[in-house]
Chain A
Amino acid sequence: MHDVRSTVPKGEAFEAEAGLPRTHYLNATHGTAAWLLTKDHKRIGLLYLFAISFFFFLGGLFAMFVRLELLTPEGDLLTSEMYNTSFSMHGIIMVFFFLVPSVPAVFGNFFLPIMIGAKDVAFPKINLLSWYIAMIAGFMMLTTLLMGGVDTGWTFYPPYSTTGSSSNVVLAALSIFVMGFSSILTGLNFIVTVHTMRAPGMTWGRLPLFVWAQYATSLIMVLGTPVLAITLGLVFAERVFHFGIFDPKLGGDPILFQHLFWFYSHPAVYIMVLPGMGVISELVAAFSRKQVFGYSFVAASSLAIALVGFLVWGHHLFTSGQSAYAALVFSFLSFIVAIPSAIKVFNWTATLYRGSISLASPMLYALGFIGLFTIGGLTGLFLAALGLDLHMQDTYFVIAHFHYIMVGGTLLAYLGALHYWWPKITGRLYTEAWAKVAAITVFVGFNLTFFPQFIVGYLGMPRRYHTYVPEFQVLNVLSTAGASILAVGFILPACYLVYSLFRGGVASRNPWGAYGLEWETTSPPPTSNFLVTPIVTRPAYAYTHADVVSPYAGSTQGERDTGTEETQRV
């Protein structure tokens, strides 16, 4: 496959149109304060990138402990308490500090305003505030960690969290309470931005699917997160003020916690995967040079997921003592939620059909996503089937299910987005050959890690124990081996991406020849994103010609846009 990127030798950087622009958002102002007090959505996106990369590393460390412990059937590396703490901290950090913010806070922040032709998000100060809130929450979680961490699992179920586990739960719950507000503010900002900041001509029907996905995700953030916050707030109050709302001693009901928790946390799995789906739509279109098949269905399916995702949480309570009637209802509704996801998969596949596909590294991630997400979604349906779930609840089958979606899906999309937009963000090109090697390593490592978990779970290995019967050892060793390969797959990009900052070729405006407003501005973009407010005249993904088509009139530097100012409507 040919490399579609056009590189420019470094020496000629300032001559060619493709050279680094003289001033851009990265060099507009200097100094730590200029970064830490920035209101530029692009810089805030990068602040998030640094922060969550750190948390990803930390979460990965705990995953390593878990996998190493599971090499042998006996608990010989960690005590059971340490093991419990390891998988809890892994889950908490990965879910709340990596996956939830990942694509929205980094790429959503960076690209959503650019993709709709805005100068910034609607509330730049609130955007910065949300980063600080996230950092405060992160700091609290690190403190919890230093105090010994928590061992409740990422779900904080009472009565263990309220009466059993160590008092570290107090700070951990507060940390996630605080983190929730960061998420809420990001969602709020995106919703208002999409409604009020679109460039002239950027109608709802022309929004890139990435923006649609971000919008739907934001709805979930805004509607679900407050319930998580209040629920963990009550756990906090129960420990600190002796409130008794979930306390069975007083006649309180721990299952109420589960209802409220999953009212957020099932939709939250879509907070984690919808933005990734948006990325995949962009990648599939860009690398098959086609309009996404059934654009409006893909856009609408994002909204459908945001709605229906709120109706199925009870499938996490099948064995918790909820009524049999409710279990039936939730089981049925859970089958419905698969429909919009399936629509997306079908439409991506249809887009690939007869496209002129190039297997550039971001596309490798996209193809990986489509395959792995499909497996994750289908096994979700197994679990949603009431009868089957009674057998599989709390086994490694569940672990494999959600890792196929959260790692095989979201993380691959995140990496795909990172590779796709890296030249735009940094103005540099990384080594494509290495990127391909990394993508394949991740794919192989991932499957080797998690496929055996389907089998071992189906055979009955429960989750959250640090010992297991010897019959399961082979599959567990395979899984740990896979995890090591996976780790290599994550370290590789860290190396060649950082290398590219210093030695990479200079990226042109549009190295992939892709279609979209973000590719019309310089790489890296100027602080105000565009020198001239773009006027959009065509739908998204109008790959009608083989070469790049400008989506709006009057684009190049120096020209001033004399077109009439249309006012956008909400």
Chain B
Amino acid sequence: MSAHIVPVRVYLIIFGALLVLTVVTVAAAGVELGWLNTPVALGIAVSKATLVVLFFMHVKYSTRLVKLTAFAGFFWLAIMITLTLSDYLTRDILAAGK
């Protein structure tokens, strides 16, 4: 089979990066950043997830189809969240004109 064998070193580097990011996210939660706390936490979570997807799950070395499938999940989730919020975030806008 046409598998890509990733060197152990790469796995260990990714593991190290994940550990560091975990510590960073906890530390950042201890700092009062106001509204920035959540975006920072989410940003770190997204980076960690991306590392897992690309390296542990081999998407970096996979076919376009697999990349597309992995992406589609988050894209559809984004559709769901965006359009639902298009309701909730605008509840006051036109009501004010009544």
Chain A contact residues: over half helix, strand or loop, or mixed? helix
Q: Is the CB of B93 within 8 A of A223?
A: no
Closest chain A CB from B90 CB (angstroms): 4
Tell me whether A326 and B76 are in contact in the complex, defined as CB-CB below 8 angstroms, given that A195-B65, A570-B63, A570-B65 are known contacts.
Answer: no
Residue A502 interfacial (CB < 8 Å): no
Tell me whether A325 and B84 are in contact in the complex, defined as CB-CB below 8 angstroms, given that A195-B65, A570-B65 are known contacts.
Answer: no
A window 180-208: CB within 8 A of B: 195
Q: Is the CB of B94 within 8 A of A324?
A: yes
Q: Is the CB of B80 within 8 A of A311?
A: no
* Cβ 8 A contact of B93, one of A322, A323, A570: A323
Closest chain B CB from A83 CB (angstroms): 32
Tell me whether A323 and B79 are in contact in the complex, defined as CB-CB below 8 angstroms, given that A259-B87, A329-B86, A570-B65 are known contacts.
Answer: no
Closest chain B CB from A226 CB (angstroms): 10
Q: Is the CB of A325 within 8 A of B94?
A: yes
Closest to B92 in A: A323
Residue A375 interfacial (CB < 8 Å): no
B window 72-98: CB within 8 A of A: 72, 76, 79-80, 83-84, 86-88, 90-91, 93-95
Count of A-B contacts with CB under 8 A? 47
Q: Is the CB of B76 within 8 A of A325?
A: no
Q: Is the CB of B79 within 8 A of A311?
A: yes
Closest to B91 in A: A323
Q: How far is the CA of A240 from the CA of B23 in the complex (A)?
A: 38
Closest to B98 in A: A324
Q: Is the CB of B79 within 8 A of A322?
A: no
Q: Is the CB of A310 within 8 A of B76?
A: yes
* Cβ 8 A contact of B87, one of A223, A310, A311, A314: A314
Closest chain A CB from B97 CB (angstroms): 9
Q: Is the CB of A323 within 8 A of B88?
A: yes
A window 311-335: CB within 8 A of B: 311, 313-314, 317, 322-326, 329-330
Closest chain A CB from B74 CB (angstroms): 12
Q: How far is the CA of A260 from the CA of B79 in the complex (A)?
A: 12
* A contact residues, total (Cβ < 8 Å): 21
Residues of A within 8 A of B86 (CB): 323, 325-326, 329
Residues of B within 8 A of A322 (CB): 87
Q: Is the CB of B87 within 8 A of A227?
A: no
B window 40-92: CB within 8 A of A: 63, 65, 72, 76, 79-80, 83-84, 86-88, 90-91
Closest to A227 in B: B80
* B contact residues, total (Cβ < 8 Å): 16
Residues of B within 8 A of A317 (CB): 87
Residue A263 interfacial (CB < 8 Å): yes
Residues of A within 8 A of B93 (CB): 323-325
Q: Mark B10-39, 1 if CB is under 8 A from A, else 0.
A: 000000000000000000000000000000
Chain B contact residues: over half helix, strand or loop, or mixed? helix
Residues of A within 8 A of B63 (CB): 570
A window 234-256: CB within 8 A of B: 255-256
Closest to B85 in A: A326
Q: How far is the CA of A195 from the CA of B65 in the complex (A)?
A: 9
Residues of B within 8 A of A314 (CB): 83, 87
Closest chain B CB from A59 CB (angstroms): 30
Q: How far is the CA of A166 from the CA of B94 in the complex (A)?
A: 38
A window 209-237: CB within 8 A of B: 223, 227
Q: Is the CB of A223 within 8 A of B76?
A: yes
Q: How far is the CA of A317 from the CA of B86 in the complex (A)?
A: 13
Residues of A within 8 A of B87 (CB): 255, 259, 314, 317, 322-323, 325-326
Q: Mark A53-97, 1 if CB is under 8 A from B, else 0.
A: 000000000000000000000000000000000000000000000
Residues of B within 8 A of A325 (CB): 86-87, 90, 93-94
Q: How far is the CA of A326 from the CA of B91 in the complex (A)?
A: 9
Q: How far is the CA of A311 from the CA of B81 in the complex (A)?
A: 11
Residues of B within 8 A of A263 (CB): 80, 84
Residues of A within 8 A of B80 (CB): 227, 260, 263
| Interface pairs (28), CB distance under 8 Å | A223-B72, A223-B76, A256-B84, A259-B84, A259-B87, A263-B80, A310-B76, A311-B79, A311-B83, A313-B83, A314-B83, A323-B86, A323-B87, A323-B88, A323-B90, A323-B91, A323-B94, A324-B90, A324-B94, A324-B95, A325-B86, A325-B93, A325-B94, A326-B83, A326-B87, A326-B90, A330-B83, A570-B65
Known contacts A311-B79, A317-B87, A324-B94; 14 additional CB pairs below 8 A are A259-B84, A259-B87, A260-B84, A263-B84, A310-B76, A311-B83, A313-B83, A322-B87, A323-B91, A323-B94, A324-B95, A325-B93, A325-B94, A329-B83
In the A-B complex, the 4 residue pairs with the smallest Cβ-Cβ separation, listed nearest first, are: A326-B87, A325-B90, A324-B94, A323-B90
Q: Using a CB–CB distance below 8 Å, which chain B residues touch chain A?
A: 63, 65, 72, 76, 79-80, 83-84, 86-88, 90-91, 93-95
